[in-house]
Structure 1
């Protein structure tokens, strides 16, 4: 399907400021300021200065919150975003009840809040490590949507569904029957996105310990609708004996 840039010159703008570079800048800035996030329910709250707020917006981590504070800005991160910044990028410390969490403790906390967290985080990390921008896909009936660059510059290319046949009932049970696949592909086609299914395999390892992530593997599958009109041979109009024109 390819990227659909939102304006003239946006592709060149994205190439001049690659997402990998922006994320590195964010990583460096958060490390220098020893930022702490606060685990609250199913999200991580983060208070940052103007520089970090700009980098968070540019790298598409979290959502800015409206507050009365003038010198600081608060961001709300998903569990996957918070854990990625803390564990994968090592640039965010996460606290719960004034207690700093180790990687292993944080893993257990995240799992207690969402039983599917190990699968969703592995999928999120898989795409982020490839420099895709990953955001919630709830608007499109998916788990995530993936952008080639910032959403202000380009439309998302993929609606992402996370799946695993090893979990009881599957990590995501929405594509078990043909009608579900048909609905998902119809919806994706209507919003000009390809359906990307990420099959997460535990390879016999449980999610009891954080070390399991090294053993998890991800298999990518794209599913698109077959459009017969795009696959037909060139149409030729012929005139029948009675003068009527027919298409062959």
Structure 2
């Protein structure tokens, strides 16, 4: 998945990213979550995680969650999205989740809760985990009118490259009516282009699987499609035709 290339925020930031690969940082996060026996409290579609100082540092470096300001110096609370919560629980296998009554939720119960809270959760989570497993940093994209934005590394080092839309493939798109008409596509392209991002559409196909269990994720498939605006003034071979040549052709 490569197209426009990264836009680093500083000259030395590409070296900083190379010295701290996201794959290694996520492994460190996974280990820290397990060692600290991290536990998140579920509240609606989000969860709240009480972190140690070490875990807080790794959450920030891997860009998981949003740190919540507190009056206590040594307290570190993070708000996790539904996709982030389930990723740490299901994919990293290193986060325990409890409900507001502090009753533990296993993966199946957590999956049921997320599906009940957000109808499109199976497709959104599959798309989120698809990008995260490729070591992209994935953040919410509501401010750009999309589901996610994808960064090559930490957002402090590089601008996001992709505005990501998640659509259901393989039948009726029951959760979203987006991109059904050309005007929808034009609006998405105009917005993503105005903020120097490539529109990436992820088509998630359930392949007839039963979504009542997270086991269905193994049956899901994801197709990536990058959509860009064609500039007619640009020739295919990178050279332009002079006005005199145009007159001769006519």
What TM-score does the superposition give when structure 1 sets the normalisation length? 0.92
C-alpha separation in 1, matches of 2:235 and 2:110? 51
**Match of 1:164, SS?**
strand
Correspondence for 1:111: 115
Q: Do structure 1's residue 174 and structure 2's residue 174 form an aligned pair?
A: no
| Number of equivalenced pairs | 239
Q: How does 1:33-44 map to 2 (within 5 A)?
A: 33-44=36-47
Q: How does 1:10-159 map to 2 (within 5 A)?
A: 10-96=13-99, 97-159=101-163
- Say whether the 8 Å CA contact 2:119–2:175 is kept in structure 1: no
Change (3 A) 1:167 1:83: farther
Gaps of 5+ in 1: 239-247
Return the offset for 1:237: 5.8
Considering only CA atoms, is the larger Rg found in Structure 1 or Structure 2? 1
Gaps of 5+ in 2: 245-249
Return the offset for 1:204: 0.7
Return the offset for 1:74: 0.4
Return the offset for 1:235: 4.2
- Say whether the 8 Å CA contact 1:119–1:171 is kept in structure 2: no
C-alpha separation in 2, matches of 1:165 and 1:18? 32
Residue deviations 1:97-117 (CA, integer Å, cap 9, x gap): 211111111111111111111
Correspondence for 2:247: none
Q: Please give the root-mean-square deviation of Cα atoms over the aligned residues, in Å.
A: 1.5
Change (3 A) 1:201 1:237: closer
- Say whether the 8 Å CA contact 2:29–2:58 is kept in structure 1: yes
C-alpha separation in 2, matches of 1:150 and 1:177? 35
Q: Do structure 1's residue 7 and structure 2's residue 13 form an aligned pair?
A: no
C-alpha separation in 2, matches of 1:165 and 1:147? 24
C-alpha separation in 1, matches of 2:114 and 2:162? 26
Return the offset for 1:211: 1.2
- Say whether the 8 Å CA contact 1:162–1:172 is kept in structure 2: no
What TM-score does the superposition give when structure 2 sets the normalisation length? 0.92
